[in-house]
């Protein structure tokens, strides 16, 4: 069976991506990163999704610098109740320096080692927080670095099936594939219930509303 | 004082690079990677070099896949007594999948976080083992990925001062800068003395011979 490495954060985008990769016939090896996030709830979600799909997974513990992001430092407040028109227009304090470069680098290392030909990442550049490492031109540049810097070269491709989709079309597609959205976690805060005010909650809310569905977490 | 992140492996190239960065006036933050190498001797060397130069350093523990490289798996033999004409012509089993992509990604994350404008890496594409992630076209592609995928963008540059130098010219330059080569470790094996037969020992031997100097480790 053909193999793929899937970056699994536990959010709804990466969960949908995992189901897309499976639908395309890949046996998925999930990488889950424990990089010092404020909360471990997303790691729990990611693990549950890997288990639900009987996928192999590895939790990668990695020390990234803490002080530069609201997602890794409690001293930096998470923006709240921003207008949907504002979200995505600039880089917010929840940006984690070079996160996707690091995650994709490690995914490449696993892909080469496992003989996987694809790396799936659920990045989205439409209904997103404005992170530079989620934009098409970054993936194109990174893919070239991957081709020139690895033994596998051109034989490993980075797949970004959600890159230009709206959140509601992602949710509709995922629902058709049977993604258990009740197992996903999007909120930047790790409380018992989603906060409903961070960018991630707002984008999720917009997505479920646009899809005409109820968020199973609410 | 202007800041730089330096990738420090404990070998002679990265040691020389650290001294070059200091000579250029940078306050250096050294990243030392504990990624499951066969031996910890190079980590000890790297730490000693950071301490000798009173540089801040961080040892990054990271789980990379083991089974794909002779440097991380004892089941894969380290090539020995290869001809100097052969070394560098193809990718040997000591290649660690995507290693420099991972290391540079983490270095970028630290550089953005610390406000460092430079990342120094002692890669060499002349007297080297043939790794794809040590070649000029890789660094050029990776630099573009870094520019497009980070908040810092163009303001962080990757410096490869040794890229096109011979091993002997590196050693001569390092000697002028006072690099304590007795503290460095190049051998792929982690015995008491360098094995003298792995690619790394052979390249080091050629370098000291070419520079007309005696290797302080021998």
Q: Is B35 left (phi over 0), alpha (psi -120 to 50) or beta?
A: alpha
Q: Does domain A3-210 have CATH number 3.40.47.10?
A: no
The H-or-E segment that residue A61 falls in is strand A56-61
Residues B144 and A127 sit within 8 Å (Cβ to Cβ): no
Tell me the nearest-neighbour CA distance from A114 into chain B, angstroms: 8
Q: What angle do CA B164, B110, A91 make, to 5 degrees?
A: 115
The better pLDDT of the pair A129, B2 is held by: B2
Residues of chain B positioned with their CB less than 8 A from the CB of A95? 151
Spatial distance between the Cα atoms of B175 and B26, rounded to a whole number of angstroms: 19
B153 touches chain A (CB under 8 A): yes
Spatial distance between the Cα atoms of B192 and A200, rounded to a whole number of angstroms: 53
Residues A108 and B98 sit within 8 Å (Cβ to Cβ): yes
Pick A105's closest partner by Cβ from B101, B110, B138.
Answer: B101
Domain ranges in chain A are: 3-210
So what's the pLDDT on residue A63? 87
A140: Cα within 13 Å, side-chain hemisphere = 5
The three-state secondary structure class of A149 is: helix
Percentages of chain A per state (helix, strand, coil), in multiples of 5: 40, 10, 50
A144 touches chain B (CB under 8 A): yes
Has residue A114 got a pLDDT over 90?
yes
Pick A144's closest partner by Cβ from B108, B112, B141.
Answer: B141
Residue A57 DSSP class: E
Spatial distance between the Cα atoms of A173 and A3, rounded to a whole number of angstroms: 22
Determine whether the interchain pair B132/A151 forms a contact, defined as Cβ–Cβ distance below 8 Å.
Answer: yes
Strand partners, B30: B6, B57
Question: Residue A111 burial (CB < 10 Å; 0-12/13-18/19+)?
Answer: buried
Strands B3-7 and A157-159: unpaired
Residues B69-120: pLDDT tens digits? 999 999 999 999 999 999 999 999 999 999 999 999 999 999 999 999 999 9
Residues of chain B positioned with their CB less than 8 A from the CB of A125? none
Residues A161-198: pLDDT tens digits? 999 999 999 999 999 999 999 999 999 999 999 999 99
Residue B63: pLDDT band with limits 50, 70, 90: confident
Pick B145's closest partner by Cβ from A63, A64, A101.
Answer: A101
What average pLDDT is seen over chain A? 96
Spatial distance between the Cα atoms of A16 and A127, rounded to a whole number of angstroms: 15
Spatial distance between the Cα atoms of A50 and A152, rounded to a whole number of angstroms: 26
Spatial distance between the Cα atoms of A159 and A149, rounded to a whole number of angstroms: 18
Spatial distance between the Cα atoms of B202 and B168, rounded to a whole number of angstroms: 12
Residue B34: pLDDT band with limits 50, 70, 90: very high
């Amino acid at each position: 069976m053909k193999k793929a490495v899937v970056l699994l954060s536990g959010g709804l985008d990466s969960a949908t991506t995992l189901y897309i990769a499976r639908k395309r016939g890949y046996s998925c090896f999930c990488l889950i990163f424990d990089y010092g996030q404020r909360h471990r709830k997303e790691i729990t979600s990611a693990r549950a999704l890997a288990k639900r799909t009987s996928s192999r997974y590895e939790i990668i513990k990695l020390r990234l610098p803490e002080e530069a992001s609201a997602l890794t430092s409690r001293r930096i407040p998470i923006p709240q109740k921003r207008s949907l028109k504002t979200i995505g227009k600039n880089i917010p304090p929840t940006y984690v320096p070079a996160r996707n470069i690091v995650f994709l680098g490690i995914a490449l290392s696993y892909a080469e080692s496992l003989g996987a030909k694809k790396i799936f990442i659920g990045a989205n550049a439409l209904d997103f927080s404005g992170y530079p490492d989620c934009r098409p031109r970054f993936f194109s540049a990174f893919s070239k670095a991957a081709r020139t810097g690895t033994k596998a070269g051109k034989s490993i491709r980075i797949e970004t099936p959600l890159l230009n989709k709206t959140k509601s079309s992602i949710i509709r597609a995922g629902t058709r594939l049977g993604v258990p959205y009740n197992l996903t976690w999007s909120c930047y805060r790790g409380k018992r219930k989603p906060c409903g005010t961070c960018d991630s909650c707002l984008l999720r809310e917009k997505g479920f509303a646009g899809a005409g569905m109820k968020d199973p977490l609410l």
